[in-house]
Amino acid sequence: MATVERLQKLIAQAGLASRRQAEQWLKDGRVRVNGRSVTLGDKADPSVDRIEVDGKALPRAEQKLYLLLNKPLGYVTTLKDPQGRPTIRRFLKGIPQRVYPVGRLDVNSEGLLLLTNDGALTQHLLHPRHQVSKTYRVKVNGRISPQACRQLEQGVELEDGVTAPAVVRNVHHSPRNSWFDLEIREGRNRQVRRMCRGVGFEVSALKRIRIGSLELGTLAKGQCRSLTSKEIQDLKSLFRHQ
């Protein structure tokens, strides 16, 4: 399928210049497509058109990959670990481009991990001002009380400050344990475990099940899949008007 884009965007994506600088190059007549002169506002499809700047072919932009991994317990969220622990690289065999995790799950946590080589999307998702929601399925020892749930939602005093408001859903119990879903919009280190400890409960199991609109679903542990076009657009739409 053709991917027709404005030339200044293609030049910027190739890393030759900023979009504004590329616009000036177009105005100056330094850009040609298939041997013909082009102007600001013209478009091209880099998969079929030959785009030249000052007579040199435009480098191909790296294909963007967006992957969802169901990280199992016991693996660190990195591609290489100096301590020799098992890493998520094991689950990325056959992936043609190098991708990087967006955020982390600690070695004792499992679930949804997003990986991509789209640096702009990564920065948006991780930037505190965007407050992208993340939902975790939490198991704690003991019977969690309504008061403790309200405290989680209102904010918990931690050593690095009070946490932002959160949402607790789907609480249920057994004689020895409690389960619930916790939605937060911060990214502090080991935040969910620290929040639960702050209201008197130790986490015994933790799984991330959602980032924004992206859901883990029924993907098996250790399995990796590409995001759909709709999932990618839904993630990008979080920042389109910001």
Asked whether the predicted pLDDT for residue 124 surpasses 70, the reply is: yes
Same domain, 153 and 184: yes
What's residue 94's pLDDT? 86
Contact by Cβ (8 Å): 84, 75:
no
17 occurs within a structural domain: yes
Residue 158, pLDDT > 50, answer yes
Query: Position 132: which residue type?
Result: V
My answer on whether 221 and 121 are in the same domain is yes
Q: Residue 1 has what pLDDT? A: 42
DSSP string, the chain: ----EEHHHHHHHTTSS-HHHHHHHHHTT-EEETTEE--TT-EE-TTTS-EEETTEEPPPPPPP-EEEEEEPTT-BSSS--TT---BGGGGGTT-SS--EESS---TT-EEEEEEES-HHHHHHHH-GGG---EEEEEEEES---HHHHHHHHH--EETTEEPPP-EEEEEEE-SSEEEEEEEES---TTHHHHHHHHTT--EEEEEEEEETTEE-TTPPTT-EEEPPHHHHHHHHHTTTT-
pLDDT beyond 90 at 18: no
End-to-end CA distance of the chain: 29
pTM score: 0.78
203-211 and 110-116 strand pairing: parallel
* Whether residues 167 and 198 fall in one domain: yes
- Cα–Cα distance for residue pair 141/199, rounded to 1 Å: 12
67 or 126: which carries more pLDDT confidence?
Answer: 67
Percent with pLDDT over 90 in the chain: 74
- The residues annotated with a catalytic role in the active site are 106
Q: What is the pLDDT of residues 215-224, one digit of tens each?
A: 999 999 999 9
Whether 224 and 187 map to the same domain: the answer is: no
* 41 in the same domain as 16: yes
Residue-level pLDDT at 35: 93
Kindly report the average pLDDT of the chain as a whole number.
92
Number of domains in the chain: 3
> Are 176 and 123 members of one domain?
no
Same-domain check for residues 181 and 219: no
Residues 70, 181 within the same domain: no
Can you give the residue range of the structural domain that contains 122? Answer: 66-128+214-237
In a domain, 24, yes or no: yes
